[in-house]
Amino acid sequence: MTRLPVQRFPDRTLPAQLVATAGRFGQKPFLHFFDPALPEAPPRLVTYRDFRDLTARAAAFLAGCGLAPGERVLLLAENSPEWLAVSLATQALRAEPAGLFSVLSAGACESIARRVKPRVIYVSSEAQWLKLAPAAADLVAAGLRAVLSHQPLPAGSLPPGLRAATVAEVMGPATAPLPDFDQRAAAVREDDPFLLLFTSGTTGRQKGVRLRQRSIVTAVDCGVAGCQTRPDDLGLHLLPFGHVAGHDQLCLALAQGHTLAMIARKEDVPRALALSPTYVFSVPLVYERIRNQALAAIEKMPAPLRRLLEAGLAAGARVRVDGSRSLLDRLLGAIASALVGGKVRRGLGGRVRALFSGGAPAAAALFRFFEGLGLPFVELYGMTETAGLISMNPFTGPRRAGSVGFVTPDHEVRIAADGELQVRGPLLLAGYLEPEDDAAAWTEDGFFRTGDLGRLDPDGSLWITGRKKALLMLSTGKKFAPEPVELAIASTLPFQGAVLLGEGMPYVTAAVFVAQDDLSRLAASGHHTPEALLGALRSALAAFSDHERPKKLLVVPGAPTDYPELVTPTLKVKREAAVAFLGLRVAALYGK
């Protein structure tokens, strides 16, 4: 059975890799950081030596706060070099960094902080601190000693006994680094903490996932070999550090010594693309937007050219994905690659040689679009509990539409009798923050229950067919996973997302998200919108069984991200929240 390739790095912890890489590539750029506080300024350049020194100064501050092995530092901030330095400094002291999504609500942040009981808190701004301030007195009673922030904090928001410091005061160039930082880094062991991260909460309370150094370094071993990144690469870093995939890319660069263009907000994407990155790593939603923009531009072209390019896109996918050797397909595909693919490449900076996708399933149509244009679309599959990696479609191939590729050689995998994928190996979490979350997560023989439904082909390729908890059961007795249908809808214009409905009902319906401009265009043309949209789905859903295809549509203006209460920080739709939001409109679909 085929497995992913692997490249073992000699240093087996991130602090040791930082020291080693800074020693080899001292003056090489590590980060081009686009600081949101300086939107007109050039990106801030951080070399590997700069970052090592920044981390050593952060470690001096944390050690001065009395941070001991096993204690925690809570990080609530947007991406920045300081975020990373505080996290690596915490690890070098054999303590545990706890990373939160910066977009979390005040209530969620306060609740998690009470569970974490940090010794030190790092925040980017007064606004982030005020999410935690109501719990400050209780956190001090539980052991909190200091708050580190980019901005001075209002004195009235700090309870007695809590030290406040700014990044400039304790991490500026004039401050002293921890004298024995390199020795501390060398003393970190594989079972010491890497990160405490929190799940996206699609099915309820966010669970705290405790990852070890072994987990992330093993993930990087396979990630570098599978992605075939190089020391001369410049990667575009988009994902937040509350997301495990954001750390996978960062740690891959740190181990290998390549450079990242890092942003903290989406508005800076064009500025980062101007640096001409050689690869992009993001969630499928970003790539869907690129594809939809290209398809929308084709739709506005004169009919002969539109038909030519549509035929060219389909032909290119047949050649590069299905293996067609037809001379006509190759000719049409070359035309689409030159006209459509050329524009896409230029929009990505002109040098991109691969698109890496993770964090959520990617639709087969998305894969076929980019692969058909000659842009390798490399999907990685994993979850927070597996340090972001279980399998991937390797850059060197073979890659298949709909498959999540081959499993790492460090995982044992099996498909349970109910179809659930179960894994065992060194990438797995050390455990959850609360022991009660561990109870149902493991089998008696030590396999982790992923909650994903899947299958393994004889050649070793892995396919994920849905979530075990998300199965829809119709009143007819039919049961199926809604995610593949939802992905197919979301990858069809003009849809921007979908939620299948029908639990306990005789047939399936769907809530679909469509931009207001598209709805206005349909209305102006005299079409009854739900019926017209349902017609647009016929060919896209032809491969699904009749009971899986929605019979009626409920149209929601906009995209899922326009409704923050419906999506997780990783932009996944919360199914239960969506059903509650739609309320009586769902009942109306069934004549109730």
In the predicted structure, residue 93 carries a pLDDT above the cut 90: yes
Both structure tokens of 47: 């070399």
How far is the C-alpha of 439 from the C-alpha of 356, rounded, in Å?
A: 34
Q: pLDDT class for 201, splitting at 50, 70, 90? A: low
From residue 115, give the alpha-carbon distance in Å to each of 12, 112, 138, 409, 433: 29, 5, 11, 35, 8
User: So what's the pLDDT on residue 367?
Assistant: 96
- Give the model's pLDDT for residue 314: 97
What integer pLDDT is reported at residue 204 of this predicted model? 59
Q: How many CA atoms lie within 13 A of 467 on its CB side?
A: 13
**Cα–Cα dist 186/486, whole Å:** 48
What is the average pLDDT score of the chain?
A: 94
Q: For residue range 250-280, list pLDDT tens digits in order.
A: 999 999 999 999 999 999 999 999 999 999 9
| The domain defined by 284-350+353-469 carries CATH number 3.40.50.12780 | yes
Which pLDDT value is given to residue 1?
78
Burial degree of 195 (CB within 10 A; 0-12, 13-18, 19+): buried
Q: Which two tokens stand for residue 24?
A: 């080899």
| CB of 17 closer than 8 Å to CB of 11 | yes
The average pLDDT across 474-484 equals 87
pLDDT above 80 for 592: no
Q: What CA–CA distance (Å, rounded) separates 101 from 383?
A: 16
Q: Residue 8: is its pLDDT beyond 90? A: yes
Give the three-state DSSP class for 303: helix
Instruction: Measure Cα distances from 403 to 242, 482, 499, 538 in Å.
Output: 26, 17, 22, 23
Q: Tell me, which fold does domain 471-589 have in CATH?
A: GMP Synthetase; Chain A, domain 3 (3.30.300)
Non-local CB neighbours of 479 within 8 Å, separated by 6+ positions: 471, 472, 473
Residue 203 pLDDT > 70, yes or no?
Answer: no
CB-based contacts of 303, cutoff 8 Å, min separation 6: none
Q: pTM to 2 decimals?
A: 0.91
Whether residue 169 is predicted with pLDDT greater than 90 in this model: the reply is yes
Q: Can 14-278 and 284-350+353-469 be said to share one CATH topology?
A: yes
pLDDT of residue 572 exceeding 90, the answer is no
Predicted confidence at residue 200, as pLDDT, reads 72
**Each residue of 275-301: pLDDT tens digit?**
999 999 998 989 999 999 999 999 999
Residue 489, both tokens: 């809808």
Cα 486 from Cα 498, distance rounded (Å)? 5
For 70, counting Cβ atoms within 10 Å of its Cβ (0-12 exposed, 13-18 middle, 19+ buried), the class is exposed
CATH class of 14-278: alpha beta
Percent of the chain, pLDDT > 70? 99
Q: What is the pLDDT of residue 86?
A: 98
Residue of 535, 554, 542 lying closest to 485 (CA atoms):
542
Which residue ranges make up each domain of the chain? 14-278, 284-350+353-469, 471-589
In this structure, the strands spanning 163-166 and 146-149 are parallel
Kindly tell me if the per-residue pLDDT of 531 is higher than 60: yes
State residue 315's pLDDT score. 98
- Average pLDDT (564-578) is 84
Mean of the pLDDT values across residues 556-574? 87
Instruction: Report the share of the chain in percent with pLDDT over 90.
Output: 80
- Residue 570 is predicted with a pLDDT of 76
Rounded Cα distance between 83 and 88, Å, is 9
